[in-house]
Amino acid sequence: MLKQIVSKRLALAFSIAVLVVSGTTTGWYFGASRLETSRTVDSVVAVVGSRSISLGELERTLSLPLYILETQRHQLLQQAVQRLIDQMLLEAEAARKGVSLEQLLEEASESESIARIANLPAPLKRVKTAGQPMYLDGQEQARIRQALIVSLRRQTDVRINLPQVEAPVLQVDITGDRRTGFEHAPVTIVEFSDFECPYCRQSVAVLKALQQVYGDKIQIIYRDYLGPNHAHALRAAEASRCAGEQGKFWEYHDLLFDRQSAGNGWDFSALAKELRLKQDPFESCLQSDRFREQITQDLQEGLKLGITSTPTFLINGRPLIGLQSVAAFQTLIDKALRDQPDSHTPQL
């Protein structure tokens, strides 16, 4: 059963990737229709016997996948508007000077100020061979073009008003003993992770930094979300839980990530000895497979939420996906704290 659930996780990630690619190639036409249907969340999309399913009910079951798609759509729109702005600035400047775009770039290649912006030691002069001009090569042209755009942006009032995508609030279970921090903290970070995931390993230092900044204002809860191609992740998850039986989950957690090696497993018994765990109970626990059901429950919860990759963090239910900076976490944590009465925001 565990293998089937891990396979479902892979299928979910693949499905979202296909949708993202489809959206890219079709221009995200469904985005325009989404704006219309958002006004009719009570509209019925299916009827089963005497029961109906509304659009809003359907969307709530797909909150995270839809958020991921909307985030991808927003990124595409950001990139597209930047390209359009750049092109408009260049065309306007060429029209002002009465030259072609090619001539505009050639003039810019001889500009001292453009050379400084492009971090060049001197302007790129056109070289003439046998009376024929030799134009800038592609790399030089791109560098000059970008420097010219920077210069034009500095001289022009450019404002972008694309609406931001707001992260949904997901309902996630915050029970369990694999937690660190103050149990009644106003902010709970639920981490879906995998001991073989390299980005999860890098996230450990970020989470520790957050604990230093926020103290008893945050608590962190760990969930196992095994990657389909990580052969040693299941055993590592079991070993960490066995260490947890002796009150050393987080210490074992840190050792697993610290000793992570791509494609290789761990000597779980050696790690247990290093933490001075009672060896016989640890080995007996590891051989019993008694945590398989709990690990399966973590995977099922992640699938139900629509999680496709690790690490994924839920900050009071709001998702933050992938390896993130302390600042990215602070944006969501500070927002959550502002929603709390009589709270203040710590400073780094």
Distance, in Å, from the CA atom of 336 to the CA atom of 93, rounded to the nearest integer, reads 46
User: What does the block give as tokens for 178?
Assistant: 């694999």
What does the pLDDT read at residue 220?
97
Quick check: 257 pLDDT over 80?
A: yes
Section 275-288 average pLDDT: 96
Instruction: Say which residue, 21 or 178, is predicted with more confidence.
Output: 178
Section 84-91 average pLDDT: 97
Q: Alpha helix (H) ranges present in the chain?
A: 2-26, 29-37, 55-60, 63-97, 101-108, 112-117, 138-155, 198-214, 233-245, 249-258, 268-274, 279-288, 292-305, 326-338
Quick check: 241 pLDDT over 50?
A: yes
What does the pLDDT read at residue 54?
86
Beta partners for residue 220, in sequence order: 180, 189
Section 49-68 average pLDDT: 88
198-206 — which CB contacts under 8 Å span 24+ positions?
198/260, 198/262, 199/310, 199/311, 199/322, 199/323, 200/257, 200/310, 200/311, 201/257, 201/260, 202/323, 203/311, 203/323, 203/324, 204/254, 204/257, 206/323, 206/324, 206/325, 206/326, 206/329
Section 190-204 average pLDDT: 97
Distance, in Å, from the CA atom of 50 to the CA atom of 62, rounded to the nearest integer, reads 23
Give residue limits of the domains in the chain: 75-155, 179-338
What does the pLDDT read at residue 255?
97
pLDDT in tens, 315-326: 999 999 999 999
What does the pLDDT read at residue 33?
42
| Average per-residue pLDDT for the chain | 86
**Stated pTM of the model:** 0.76
Percent of the chain with pLDDT over 90: 64
What does the pLDDT read at residue 123?
84
Quick check: 201 pLDDT over 90?
A: yes
191 residue type, one letter: E
Listed residue (17, 309, 324) closest to 192, CA to CA: 309
What does the pLDDT read at residue 37?
44
What does the pLDDT read at residue 4?
60
Instruction: Find the helix or strand (DSSP H, E) in which 187 lies.
Output: strand 187-193
* DSSP secondary structure of 93-142: HHHHHT--HHHHHHHHTT-HHHHHHTT-SS--PPEEETTEEEPPPHHHHH
User: What does the block give as tokens for 73?
Assistant: 């759509």
Section 101-129 average pLDDT: 82
Answer for the pair 44, 56: CB distance below 8 angstroms, yes or no: no
Architecture of domain 179-338: 3-Layer(aba) Sandwich (3.40)
Is residue 127 very low, low, confident or very high in pLDDT (cuts 50, 70, 90)?
very low
Is residue 341 very low, low, confident or very high in pLDDT (cuts 50, 70, 90)?
confident
What does the pLDDT read at residue 245?
96
C-alpha pair distances (Å), 338 with each of 127, 314, 319, 334: 61, 17, 18, 6
Instruction: Say which residue, 54 or 84, is predicted with more confidence.
Output: 84
Percent of the chain with pLDDT over 70: 83
